[in-house]
């Protein structure tokens, strides 16, 4: 197992290595229970361990995954044979990362909006996670769109929290993934792609202003944004339109000093998330690496194929490896729909 990379800039570059992306496996206990409910599996410490061990031991991990975002429970867990799950990730040539936010909570005085909590005690927690092997972290701020939302107050407060988190991470030698998610599947979710563009641009401009004020080193961070896309309950823009508007929005807001942008999938179907990423990489000159940091769009097929049954571990791993492979091609701008059918 190679020694861990230590410089912030080197870690960030490794996280967006050519043809690789990040696996978001940091579902909190409440979220993983929802996912397991879909396959009729009880969520226990053991079933959560078995599921994640299956993913981390897959072929796709070694070839296509640069880093894995873990939940607090997982970074402390051992595989069935006693090996720490974080070591399995490192043995696969990938970097363990950790979700450090405590979730989005209602924002006082701002009905319908949230603020992400978890800054208190973060310096101490980061030191512990570093000792457990984490070299990057994640914090997600959530922004909802409606006729009257978001408000400036919510955008500003979420951006400030992201910046304070990012500065604390860098102090601890940990690369922050800065994730301001403008929801596509919020309520009512019928907004247009142009409204998503306007809000995403506003949010990203505010986030980078706060990162600057907080003295965050741009070369030592990764941005994890949403794509610019129609609301879940609105018409569906073409792949070309999503790619063009997303790239235009990012070019107008994200400094070239940022080494990489790793998208969330946000409720897109597996293939949509892959197609959009591929179109961006294939058709535009970009100042940063563009790759994936998907949760649902990398795991959904694997979860279904596994179904919680030990005899389906190989099938689950094959499904995961296929999705990771398709997204690896997309990160290089070389994915084609025919490749899905061929598989
Ligand atoms: C893995 O999902 C994460 C959600 O965690 P919670 O249990 O705290 O809701 C989520 O933050 C994820 O890392 C990103 O949003 C990307 O996931 P998707 O599914 O949107 O690609």
pLDDT averaged over every residue in the chain: 97
- Residue 337 token pair: 């729909």
Which ligand 1 atom minimizes the distance to the CA of 267? 20
270 alpha carbon to ligand 1 midpoint, in Å?
14
293 alpha carbon to ligand 1 midpoint, in Å?
9
User: Among 43, 100, 140, which is best to mutate for testing ligand 1, by the most ligand atoms less than 8 A from CB?
Assistant: 140
What's the rounded Cα separation, in Å, for the pair 111 and 41? 35
3 Cβ neighbours under 8 A, 6+ residues apart: none
Mean pLDDT of 71-96: 98
In a domain, 59, yes or no: yes
Torsion of CA 213, 224, 130, 67, to 10 degrees: -150
Nearest to 139 by CA among 214, 64, 238, 43: 214
Residue 92 neighbours by CB distance under 10 Å:
19
Which ligand 1 atom minimizes the distance to the CA of 138? 13
User: Among 15, 21, 23, 24, which is best to mutate for testing ligand 1, by the most ligand atoms less than 8 A from CB?
Assistant: 24
What's the rounded Cα separation, in Å, for the pair 4 and 7? 10
Tokens 């892959």: give the residue: 274
> Ligand 1: residues whose CB is within 6 Å?
24, 26-28, 31, 69, 103, 140, 181, 264-266, 294-297
Q: Where are the alpha helices (DSSP H) in 8-120?
A: 8-15, 29-37, 45-56, 59-64, 72-75, 85-91
253 alpha carbon to ligand 1 midpoint, in Å?
23
The pLDDT tens digits for 119-172 are 999 999 999 999 999 999 999 999 999 999 999 999 999 999 999 999 999 999
In a domain, 2, yes or no: no
In a domain, 31, yes or no: yes
What's the rounded Cα separation, in Å, for the pair 158 and 152? 10
Using an 8 Å Cβ cutoff, are 14 and 66 in contact? yes
pLDDT at res. 343? 66
Tokens 């040539």: give the residue: 93
In a domain, 320, yes or no: yes
Q: Element (H or E) spanning 142, and its range?
A: strand 136-143
Residue with the nearest Cα to atom 17 of ligand 1?
295
Q: Where are the alpha helices (DSSP H) in the chain?
A: 8-15, 29-37, 45-56, 59-64, 72-75, 85-91, 122-131, 152-171, 193-213, 239-251, 270-283, 296-306, 313-331, 337-342
In a domain, 283, yes or no: yes
- Residue 117 token pair: 């909590």
| Domains identified in the chain, total number | 1
CA angle 108, 110, 113 (to 5 degrees): 100
Torsion of CA 307, 311, 314, 317, to 10 degrees: 20
- Enclosing domain of residue 185: 8-341
Q: Which residues of 45-57 are buried (b: 16+ CB within 10 A; e: fewer)?
A: eeebbbbbbbbbb
In a domain, 247, yes or no: yes
pLDDT at res. 341? 81
Report the CATH number at residue 326. Answer: 3.20.20.70
**1 has pLDDT over 80:** no
What's the rounded Cα separation, in Å, for the pair 312 and 50? 12
27 alpha carbon to ligand 1 midpoint, in Å?
6
- Residue 137 token pair: 């972290």
DSSP letter string, 195-213: HHHHHHHHHHHHHHHHHHH
In a domain, 310, yes or no: yes
The pLDDT tens digits for 215-270 are 999 999 999 999 999 999 999 999 999 999 999 999 999 999 999 999 999 999 99
Tokens 């078995």: give the residue: 50
**40 has pLDDT over 90:** yes
Band (2; pLDDT cuts 50, 70, 90):
confident
In a domain, 274, yes or no: yes
pLDDT at res. 3? 77
Instruction: Please state, for a pLDDT cut of 90, what percent of the chain lies above it.
Output: 96
């Amino acid at each position: 197992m190679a020694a861990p990379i230590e410089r912030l800039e080197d870690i960030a570059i490794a996280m967006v290595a050519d043809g690789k992306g990040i696996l978001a496996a940091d579902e909190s206990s409440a979220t993983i229970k929802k996912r397991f409910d879909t396959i009729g599996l009880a969520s226990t410490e053991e079933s959560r361990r078995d599921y994640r061990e299956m993913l981390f031991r897959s072929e796709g991990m070694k070839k296509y995954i640069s880093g894995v975002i873990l939940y607090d429970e997982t970074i402390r867990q051992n595989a069935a044979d006693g090996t720490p799950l974080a070591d399995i990730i490192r043995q696969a040539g990938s970097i363990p990362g950790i979700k450090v936010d405590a979730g989005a909570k209602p924002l006082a005085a701002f009905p319908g909006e949230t603020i992400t909590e978890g800054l208190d005690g973060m310096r101490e927690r980061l030191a512990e996670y570093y000792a457990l092997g984490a070299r990057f972290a994640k914090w997600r701020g959530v922004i909802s769109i409606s006729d009257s939302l978001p408000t400036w107050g919510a955008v500003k407060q979420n951006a400030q929290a992201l910046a304070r988190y990012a500065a604390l991470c860098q102090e601890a030698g940990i690369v922050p993934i800065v994730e301001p998610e403008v929801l596509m599947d919020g309520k009512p979710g019928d907004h247009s792609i142009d409204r998503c563009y306007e809000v995403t641009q506003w949010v990203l401009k505010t986030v980078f202003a706060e990162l600057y004020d907080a003295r965050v080193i741009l070369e030592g961070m990764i941005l994890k944004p949403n794509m610019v896309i129609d609301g879940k309950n609105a018409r569906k823009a073409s792949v070309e339109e999503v790619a063009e508007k997303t790239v235009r929005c990012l070019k107008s807001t994200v400094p070239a000093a940022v080494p990489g942008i790793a998208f969330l999938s946000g409720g897109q179907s597996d293939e949509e998330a892959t197609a959009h990423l591929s179109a961006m990489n294939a058709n535009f000159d970009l100042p940063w690496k563009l790759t994936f940091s998907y949760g649902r769009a990398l795991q959904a097929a694997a979860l279904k194929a596994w179904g919680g049954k030990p005899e389906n571990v190989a099938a689950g791993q094959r499904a995961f490896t296929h999705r990771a492979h398709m997204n690896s091609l997309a990160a290089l701008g070389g994915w084609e729909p025919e490749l899905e059918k061929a598989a």
